[in-house]
Every structure is written in C-alpha cells, then in structure tokens.
Amino acid sequence: MALTGVLRPGFAQVRVLSMEDALVHYRDRIGLNVVSTGDDGRVYMKAYDEFDHHSIVLRECDEAGLDMMAFKVENEIALKEYEEKLLKEGIAVDHIAIGEQPGVGRRISFVAPTGHRFDLYAEMELSTKGPLVKNPDLWRTEPKGMKALRFDHCLLYGSDVDGTKKIFEDILGFTMTECIKEEDGTLIAIFLSCGNKAHDLALVRHEEDNKLHHVSFLVEDWTSIRDAADIITRYDISRDIGPTRHGITRGQTIYFFDPSGNRNEVFSGGYSFYPGDPTRVWEMPNVGKAIFYYEQQLNDRFMNVVT
C-alpha cells in the first residue's frame, strides 16, 4: 500500500538509571549500534537494518521510563497539517528546534490524554552505518547480540485510552487493528497501526498516566527469539515471560528487563493489516489467550510492572 501521512515509528527516548549498564544491555545484548553521544550525555543508537541516524535515545536519569515516542511523517507539508489539526482540536503543540537531536529536523510535540508525549517530524539524516544500497550484502557489519532489525513499537499505559485513540485515529490517521473489550464495551487495550503492520503503538487502560510497559524490537524469526532467550539466560538478564506467542498480532515474543527496570520485547512475525480489514476483538474472559496464546493466562508482573 502507498504510505502517506504518518509513515512509521521513528524513535523512542528512554530514561535509564546507569548509562554504563544500559549500554551493555542495549548495545551488547540487544545488538544496537552506538551512533553518537551528545554533549548532554544522551546516547543515540540504531539497529543495523535501519537507515536513519538513530531510533533509540538513552538519557541517564534518576527515574526510569519513557520521555517520548516520535513518529516520522511524510514531509513538511504533512507536519504542518498535523499541527493545524491538533490545534483545531484544542491540543497544545510545542515546537522542538532543528538539531535538538543530531540529524533531526524540526519536531512538533503534544501530550496525549494518557499523559504520554508524542513527537512528529519529517526529516532525519541517514546514518553512515545504514544498510548497504548498491549490490547490497545482508548487512554492513556483522550483527551482534539479539540482532535487532529495528525499533518496532511501544506499549504504553494510561487512563484515557479513548481520548488518545481519538487523536491517533481522527487526526493522525491510524487504524485500530485489534482490541480487548469488557462486556459493556469498555476498551481495555487497543492496537493502532499507521501502515500495514499489526501495530505501531499499543495502549492499555491503567489508573496511572504516562507509564511505559515496553519498548519492542523486531527480530527476524522464531529462531531469533530462541537465540534471544539463550542470551537472556547466559547473561542473567531479568526475564518476564517467553519465548511464547501472542494471540493478539500473532507475533512471537520474549519479554525481559533492562538494568533500569524498563521492559523490552523482541518480536517477530505478526499478520499484515490492510485498509478495510475488520478489527479483531478479544473479550475479557479470553484475555489470557489473547496476550499469551500458549499459556492462556497472564502473570501479575506482566500486567502490573511499568516504568
């Protein structure tokens, strides 16, 4: 399908308690490349199969969590249109100047009803370490660790899921591909796509706003999920659950924690979504099977531990 408007997730800025420990985790274990370090200490990273300058930003802080998630839009015209639409709906918009992050053009920023900050931008410089494009080998430098292909999505927790859903559907053009509903129709979890992935953003109803459940990285296949499990065990990384499979999205998965307590996922597979496809609906009595298809039940840590 021809992608227009919001193209894809661009980057996430994650707060970590120790940069030294975080670098071992994200660089050596997940397999991201360090692109640069800013004068303010922020570290910019990318997966080996990503073209843009960076997709993960680490910021050392005394509280773990997510500063913001940013989406790349088609062009400057689209960026201006989204700003106008947000303002028309009474949503405050901040401006982040060119170069606030290396290689990134101007950004607009808003806080969603769930309390999360989302940025939109149209321009980011290409990385000199991006995939080859002329007679290209599979990779420029040999992948390491879990061999993450790209930053894939975030799952976020907050109270006003309906309000955030409205912004992403009505203003930004996302589609709800899948959801979990109470018997009375209350949305408990929603999965939103701006393209033909099963999801680019997921939101779960939660009493506290602005919480991060996980940052997810795409890997190649089920074998890669197994290899990630081997790395998690070898280096005593705190594992949440998996390897297993989701009913929602049909993706294969393993969840684990970075040294600061932020949950990560490596993910493979998942169905393709196209405009006009019906929304897949899970009812609460089947929520265990929806989240963990094989186990058919949830663990308390997966539902309640957030940063």
Q: What is the pLDDT of residues 244-259, one digit of tens each?
A: 999 999 999 999 999 9
Task: Say if residue 89's pLDDT is above 50.
Answer: yes
Q: In this structure, are residues 188 and 150 in contact, taking their beta carbons and an 8 Å threshold?
A: no
Q: In this structure, are residues 60 and 17 in contact, taking their beta carbons and an 8 Å threshold?
A: yes
Question: Do 279 and 193 sit in the same domain of this protein?
Answer: yes
Question: Do 51 and 168 sit in the same domain of this protein?
Answer: no
> What domain count does the chain have?
2
Q: In this structure, are residues 112 and 68 in contact, taking their beta carbons and an 8 Å threshold?
A: no
Domain holding 71, by residue range, is 6-121
CATH label of the domain that carries residue 260? 3.10.180.10
Q: Mind telling me the catalytic residues?
A: 153, 199, 214, 246, 255, 265
* Predicted confidence (pLDDT) per residue in 18-45, tens digit: 999 999 999 999 999 999 999 999 999 9
Domain boundary (121, 140, 169) is at 121
Report the pLDDT value the prediction gives residue 208, as an integer from 0 to 100. 95
> Quick one: tokens of 150?
């790209």
> Quick one: tokens of 143?
């992948």
Residue 43 region, left (φ>0) first, then alpha (ψ -120 to 50), else beta?
beta
Report the pLDDT value the prediction gives residue 182, as an integer from 0 to 100. 95
User: What is the CA 151 to chain-centroid distance, rounded?
Assistant: 6
Mean pLDDT confidence for 271-277? 92
Domain for residue 260, yes or no?
yes
Domain for residue 127, yes or no?
no
Place of tokens 């499990």: 229
Distance of alpha carbon 43 from alpha carbon 58, whole angstroms: 5
Question: Do 154 and 298 sit in the same domain of this protein?
Answer: yes
Distance of alpha carbon 242 from alpha carbon 295, whole angstroms: 10
Question: Do 171 and 106 sit in the same domain of this protein?
Answer: no
CB atoms within 10 A of CB 112: 23
* Predicted confidence (pLDDT) per residue in 228-244, tens digit: 999 999 999 999 999 99
Distance of alpha carbon 220 from alpha carbon 235, whole angstroms: 21
Question: Do 177 and 116 sit in the same domain of this protein?
Answer: no
Domain boundary (79, 101, 121) is at 121
Question: Do 103 and 177 sit in the same domain of this protein?
Answer: no
Question: Do 233 and 89 sit in the same domain of this protein?
Answer: no
Mean pLDDT confidence for 190-198? 95
Domain for residue 284, yes or no?
yes
Question: Do 112 and 220 sit in the same domain of this protein?
Answer: no
Domain for residue 285, yes or no?
yes
Distance of alpha carbon 118 from alpha carbon 139, whole angstroms: 31
Task: Say if residue 165's pLDDT is above 60.
Answer: yes
Domain for residue 78, yes or no?
yes
Question: Which stretches does DSSP call E strand in the chain?
Answer: 6-16, 33-37, 43-46, 56-60, 65-73, 94-96, 107-111, 117-121, 150-158, 175-181, 187-193, 201-205, 211-218, 239-245, 251-257, 263-269, 280-283
Report the pLDDT value the prediction gives residue 4, as an integer from 0 to 100. 78
Question: Do 154 and 300 sit in the same domain of this protein?
Answer: yes
> Quick one: tokens of 129?
């370490």
Give the predicted TM-score (pTM) of the model. Answer: 0.96
Distance of alpha carbon 27 from alpha carbon 63, whole angstroms: 21
Report the pLDDT value the prediction gives residue 1, as an integer from 0 to 100. 46
Question: Do 105 and 186 sit in the same domain of this protein?
Answer: no
Question: Do 39 and 110 sit in the same domain of this protein?
Answer: yes
Query: Can you tell me whether residue 203 is helix, strand or coil?
Result: strand
Question: Do 293 and 200 sit in the same domain of this protein?
Answer: yes
Domain for residue 1, yes or no?
no
| Side chain identity at residue 160, one-letter code | D
Distance of alpha carbon 200 from alpha carbon 118, whole angstroms: 13
Task: Say if residue 88's pLDDT is above 50.
Answer: yes
Task: Say if residue 2's pLDDT is above 80.
Answer: no
Per DSSP bridges, beta strands 239-245 and 251-257 are antiparallel
Domain for residue 156, yes or no?
yes
Domain for residue 134, yes or no?
no
Q: In this structure, are residues 36 and 117 in contact, taking their beta carbons and an 8 Å threshold?
A: no
